[in-house]
Structure 1
Amino acid sequence: MSATESNPAPSSTPASLSIGELSERTGVPTSALRYYDELGLVRPAAREAGRRRYATSAVRDVSVILFFREIGFSLAEIGRFLGGERQGRREMIDHKLVELAERQHRIEVARAALDHGRQCPASDPLKCSRFWLIIEGRQRGLPLEESHARVH
């Protein structure tokens, strides 16, 4: 008699996954999956003996969450996006595009400042007069970009 014959399969339907199986298929830790459940993002289809059982479609649902996280959405935003109406989704996309453009701009300014620090003739950024002029501009309330632009 084989091991499978002596130990019958669990009573769960083959179309459901344990939280561990969902974790394995998606690469998402079980603690995160529990948190997604708490937030209402990915709910178990059923519970057996107090344990979460997920529909196989939960793999796709978790993949959607991972995609949105990767492109910059918070879990709260993902919840609103998935639960929202079509028009609201378009507005969220427009808002996220503006947010990403602003973030990209800040990154470009930071890169320029760091590049200057690396190539500065003073050899030490803390001894660079431009560095201190940028800091003084920030102390006066200028945005980093403006403070940096005034010095260069």
Structure 2
Amino acid sequence: MSATESTPASLSIGDLSERTGVPTSALRYYDELGLVRPTAREAGRRRYAESAVRDVSAILFFREIGFSLAEIGRFLTGERQGRREMIDHKLAELIEQQHRIEVARTALEHGRKCPAVDPMKCTRFWAILEGRQRGLSLEESHSRVH
């Protein structure tokens, strides 16, 4: 087999990019991080096993549900118990994030229907900011004003 030929079961980085929708630059970065490694190099070019499509899909899934690339690396290389702890930690993070989003949504809804018309002229808005300056959470500050 010549250096320009490839084994039928391997994919070029372009093939992997096309099959997964992930740019080749990101695939190279994943390689640097050890997330998806080529199985071989032919004439200096990365060649991936067919299973790399599945591996990239897993990375995309974990990114979509909020994992960082560093967390994904630890998850993929970790032990079952460690993965369980990571899931529990991510769930707690998401619950906190969901709570912050709900508080922010409530504040924005107030701004949209504020009788002052301009939120920058709203006395409640400024009272909430003063509460934040005193160290209250957004939720505490907002609830004291309303």
C-alpha separation in 2, matches of 1:144 and 1:49: 58
1:25 partner letter: R
Displacement of 1:11 in angstroms is 1.6
C-alpha separation in 2, matches of 1:143 and 1:38: 40
SS of equivalent to 1:42: coil
Question: Is 1:143 aligned with 2:134?
Answer: no
Q: How many residue pairs were aligned?
A: 144
Displacement of 1:142 in angstroms is 1.0
Displacement of 1:141 in angstroms is 1.2
Give a deviation string over 1:120-151, Cα, whole Å, max 9, x none: 01000001111000100111111111111111
C-alpha separation in 2, matches of 1:39 and 1:57: 18
Structure with bigger gyration radius: 1
| Long gaps (5+) in structure 1 | 1-7
| Long gaps (5+) in structure 2 | none
Divergent runs of 4+, >3 A:
none
Match of 2:50 in 1: 56
**What TM-score, normalized by structure 2, do the two folds share?**
0.97
Q: How big is the alpha-carbon RMSD for the aligned residues of Structure 1 and Structure 2?
A: 1.0
1:18 partner letter: S
**What TM-score, normalized by structure 1, do the two folds share?**
0.93
Percent identity between the two aligned chains: 85
